[in-house]
Amino acid sequence: MVSLSSLVFPAEPRRLPGHRAIKVVLRGLHTLAAGLLCGAWVFEVPPEARSLTLALAIASGLAMLTLDLFESGAFLVQVRGIVLLVKLAVVLALPLLGAATGAVLSAVFVVAVISSHAPSKVRYRVLLGRGRINGATSRG
C-alpha cells in the first residue's frame, strides 16, 4: 500500500515528459502577466481592465505550482517554495493595502525575479525536514 507521505514526498522526484519546455512557456506567460498587472496597478488602470492579466497571472502561476508539486511536495519546504508561499501571502493581502498596492506589488515582482535567478544550490535548498525529505532537483 502506498502511503500519503510517499505520494507527497517520493523517494525520487517524479518527471513529466516535456517538463522543462512547459515550465519555460508558463514562466514566460507568468512574467508577462505579472509585469502587466504590476504596471496596471502602478499606473492606476481601472480594475475591469486588469482582470485578464490577473486571470493569466493566476492561471500560469497555478500551472507552474502544479508542475512543481507533481514533481515532489518537497518544493514547499525548499527555498523556492517558501518564497512562493510568502509571495502568495503578500498578494492575497493586496486588497488591504490601498494606495500602497502598486508599490508592494512592484516589490513582490522584483523579489520574484531575484529569487528565480538565484543559484540553484540556494533555490533548491531544503529548509524544513532536512535528512528526511529529498528535494526536487529539476532545473526548469
**Residues 86 and 130 sit within 8 Å (Cβ to Cβ):** no
Interval 61-69 mean pLDDT: 93
Q: Where are the alpha helices (DSSP H) in 43-78?
A: 47-71
pLDDT tens figures, 6-53 = 888 888 889 899 999 999 999 999 999 999 999 998 898 998 999 999
Provide the whole-model pTM.
0.83
In this predicted structure, what is the pLDDT of residue 138? 59
Residue with grid cell 538565484, as numbered in its chain = 118
Domain positions in the chain: 30-123
Question: CB 62: neighbour CB atoms within 10 A?
Answer: 12
**Residues 22 and 68 sit within 8 Å (Cβ to Cβ):** no
